[in-house]
Amino acid sequence: MSSGSPRIAQGRIAGDRPVPHIVTELPGPKARAHVAFDETWTSPSLPRAYPIVPIRGEGLTVEDIDGNLFLDFAAGIAVTSTGHSHPKVVAAIQDQAAELIHFSASDFYLPIYPQVCRELARIAPISGRVRAYLGNSGTEVVEASMKLARFATKRPYIVAFLGAFHGRTYGSVSLTASKAKYHAGFGPLLPGIFHAPYGRVEDLRWFDEVLFDKLAPADEVAAIIVEPIQGEGGYIVPEDGFLQGLRDICDRHGILLIADEIQSGAGRTGKMWAVEHWGVEPDILLTAKGIASGMTLGAMIAKAELFETWGPGAHGSTYGGNPVACAAALATIELLEGGLVDNAATRGEQALAGLRPLLDRYDGLVRDVRGKGLMLGIEFDTGEHAEEVQWACFERGLLVLECGKTSVRMSPALTVTEAEMATALRIFGEAVAAVAGHGPAVLEEVVDAGAADARPHLRPDDRRRGRAQARLLVARQPRRRRPRRHPSTDRRRDPRADARDRGVQPLRDGRALHRGRDEPAVLPAAELFRDRPAGSQPPDPADPLALWR
C-alpha cells in the first residue's frame, strides 16, 4: 500500500484544503437534518447506501452540505466519467441550453440528435452499417433492445444471466436476476425470459443441455443479453472464452447478441467498450451512465438492418436524445477519446497493484480483487464486512459503493489522477485494516513513512482534531502483533460500533444496521434511519431540524 501519496491538486471547491477533508462528525448536523427532510417526502424504495448529502462536485472532489470534502470513487454509480462538472461538459451543456432545451427528436428533426447517433455508430464495436436510438436512461434502452430483438427476429424468447442487472422497469427487471428483492411483490413479470449461469466457459453447456433441449427451441430465441462484466451483480469478470462462446451460440442459431454496456462501457474498463477486451462483436450494444457524464442519456446502437425492420411509430420517446444531454455526450466522447480511456487503463493497473496485497494481508477477510480498468471489485467474506468497509471508507472521506452480495466496487471518474488513486488506495487499506482489527498498525506504517500528505484529513483546524491525534498517538506506539480476531466479535475495533457510539448508523437498504441481536440503535441519528411505525407523525417537513432540537 502506498504510504506516501502525493498531495492531490487543489481546485475550485477544495481551495487550499486537501481532499478528503472531514470537518464534522459524519453525517454532519445539516446532513442529518436533510436526511430527515428527505425521508419525509421521498419514496422509501430508494435503497440509499450511506448518508452523504452532496452539494458541489469538481473532478473527483465532492463537498457535502456540512463542508466536508470527499474523494469520490463511486461517481454517482459509475456515471460521472469525466469527473464532476468537467468544464468542457459544462460549457457544452450551457451553450446548448442557451440555444434550445427541448423539441423532441421523436416527431421532429433535431440537428444534434443524429450527430450523436453518428458518433456512437463510429465508436461502436459493430461492423457494417450501424444506427442508434437515444433514450433517457439505461433501463429505457434495455426495453428498446427487447422490443427490437423480438420485432426483428419474430421470435419470443430472451435469455439473460443469473447475477445480471438490467434495470427496474417491467421488461428490464424481468431480465434482472442479481437479487430476488428486485422481483419481490411485482410478479408476474414479463414472460418468455430464461436465466443462464454466468461467467464460466463450462456453463455454456447449459444452452444445449438445458435451454435448447428442455425449455425452448433455439430458433425461438430472439436474443441473449449479457453484461460483458457484471456490474450490480458484483463486478464479475467472465472467463476468457465465455463471451466468444456466446457469440458462437448466437451465430449457430440466428440469435442476436445484446451487450449491455451501460455500466462497463464509455471507456470505464480501459477500452471504449468492455467487449473489446475479448474481440467480441455484439449485434446490439447498450450504453448510458458514463456516455453523457451524468446528463440523462441512454443509447441503443445496432446493426442498421435490425433497425430497418422497424417502421415509424414502432418506438420513440418525448425526451430521448434531449439536445442538452446530446451536447454533453458529444463533449464526453471527445474527452474519452482524447485520453481518458487510456487513463482508465493505466489507473486501473495502479489500482490492482495496490489492492492485490490485501488478499494476503487480510487472508480470509478479503476474498478477491478483480476488474478491468476502473471497474474494480473487492470481495469480502461476508456482506456485513463489505458494508463495514464501505462505511469505514465513508468515515475517512472516501466514497465507494457495495455491489453484489459481498463486494465493494471502486468506479471513479476516468479523470482520476495517480495521486487521487494513491490516496484512495491508502484510505481503502486503512478501512479494511480497521474492519479486520488492524487499524493502528496500518496507520503506523503511514506515520513511519513520514507521509504528511498521505493523511490529508489530519489537519490542525479539524474539528476531529482530538480524535485524529488520539489515533496518531496510538499509531506511534511500538507495533504489537495483534492476534487476528473475527472482526464482528471485536467490538473495540468495529467501525460500525464506533460510528454508532458517536450517534451515526451505517445503512443497509435504507435501514439502520443493528449490531448484535439485542443492541438496537438508540442514539439520535439512528432515528433518521429507523422504520417509522405506521401512522406515526413524520418530522415537520417545514422544519426538518425540529428532529434535532
Give, as one character, the DSSP assignment of residue 102: -
Q: How far is CA 417 from CA 82, 258, 294, 346, 374, in A?
A: 12, 33, 20, 10, 12
372: β partners = 375
Q: How many residues bind ligand PLP (CB under 6 A)?
A: 15
User: Is the peptide bond prior to 27 cis by the omega test (within 30 degrees of 0)?
Assistant: yes
| Shortest Å, Cβ 77 to ligand PLP | 6
d(CA 383, CA 428): 17
Q: Is 231 in the site for ligand PLP (CB under 6 A)?
A: yes
- Applying CB under 6 A, among 119, 232, 387, 445 the residue interacting with ligand PLP is 232
- Applying CB under 6 A, among 227, 384, 387, 402 the residue interacting with ligand PLP is 227
User: Is the peptide bond prior to 156 cis by the omega test (within 30 degrees of 0)?
Assistant: no
- Closer Cβ to ligand PLP, 23 or 256, answer by number: 256
Per-residue binder mask for ligand PLP (CB under 6 A), 459-478, x = binder = --------------------
| Shortest Å, Cβ 230 to ligand PLP | 8
Give, as one character, the DSSP assignment of residue 212: I
Could you count the other beta carbons within 10 Å of the beta carbon of residue 211?
20
- Closer Cβ to ligand PLP, 131 or 166, answer by number: 166
Report the largest interatomic distance among the alpha carbons of the chain, rounded to a whole angstrom: 75
**Listed ranges 31-39, 161-169, 331-339, 426-434: which one lies at the site for ligand PLP (CB under 6 A):** 161-169
**Listed ranges 159-167, 308-316, 317-325, 458-466: which one lies at the site for ligand PLP (CB under 6 A):** 159-167
DSSP assignment string, 386-406:
HHHHHHHHHHTTEE-EEETTT
- Closer Cβ to ligand PLP, 28 or 167, answer by number: 167
d(CA 459, CA 208): 62
| Shortest Å, Cβ 168 to ligand PLP | 7
Find the binding residues for ligand PLP in span 115-154 (CB under 6 A). 137-139, 142
d(CA 435, CA 26): 18
d(CA 151, CA 155): 8
- Applying CB under 6 A, among 131, 166, 277, 455 the residue interacting with ligand PLP is 166
- Closer Cβ to ligand PLP, 138 or 429, answer by number: 138
Q: Is 165 in the site for ligand PLP (CB under 6 A)?
A: yes
d(CA 545, CA 549): 7
d(CA 10, CA 443): 24
508: β partners = 511
| Shortest Å, Cβ 245 to ligand PLP | 20
Q: Is 424 in the site for ligand PLP (CB under 6 A)?
A: no
- Applying CB under 6 A, among 58, 143, 260, 379 the residue interacting with ligand PLP is 260
- Closer Cβ to ligand PLP, 298 or 354, answer by number: 298
- Closer Cβ to ligand PLP, 65 or 258, answer by number: 258
Q: Is 160 in the site for ligand PLP (CB under 6 A)?
A: no
| Shortest Å, Cβ 141 to ligand PLP | 8
**Listed ranges 152-160, 259-267, 318-326, 448-456: which one lies at the site for ligand PLP (CB under 6 A):** 259-267
| Shortest Å, Cβ 337 to ligand PLP | 22
| Shortest Å, Cβ 165 to ligand PLP | 5
d(CA 283, CA 300): 10
Contact 419, 6 (CB under 8 A): yes
Q: Is 539 in the site for ligand PLP (CB under 6 A)?
A: no
Count CA atoms closer than 13 A to 459's CA, side-chain side.
17
| Shortest Å, Cβ 78 to ligand PLP | 7
Could you count the other beta carbons within 10 Å of the beta carbon of residue 353?
11
Residue with cell 454517482: 76
Per-residue binder mask for ligand PLP (CB under 6 A), 53-82, x = binder = ------------------------x-----
Residue type, 276: E
Q: Is 390 in the site for ligand PLP (CB under 6 A)?
A: no
- Closer Cβ to ligand PLP, 58 or 260, answer by number: 260
| Shortest Å, Cβ 318 to ligand PLP | 17
List the strands of the sheet with 193-196, edge to edge: 130-135, 298-303, 284-287, 256-260, 221-226, 157-161, 193-196
Q: Is 262 in the site for ligand PLP (CB under 6 A)?
A: yes
- Tell me the residue nearest to ligand PLP as measured from the CB: 138
- Closer Cβ to ligand PLP, 28 or 138, answer by number: 138
Contact 322, 106 (CB under 8 A): no
Count H helices and E strands in the chain, helices first.
18, 17
d(CA 354, CA 359): 11
- Applying CB under 6 A, among 20, 59, 167, 354 the residue interacting with ligand PLP is 167
Contact 277, 228 (CB under 8 A): yes
198: which 3 cell numbers?
454466468
- Closer Cβ to ligand PLP, 289 or 464, answer by number: 289
Find the binding residues for ligand PLP in span 170-189 (CB under 6 A). none
Contact 487, 385 (CB under 8 A): yes
Gyration radius of the chain's alpha carbons = 24
Q: Is 288 in the site for ligand PLP (CB under 6 A)?
A: yes
- Closer Cβ to ligand PLP, 183 or 491, answer by number: 183
- Closer Cβ to ligand PLP, 233 or 544, answer by number: 233
Give the binding site for ligand PLP (CB under 6 A). Answer: 77, 137-139, 142, 165-167, 227, 231-232, 260, 262-263, 288
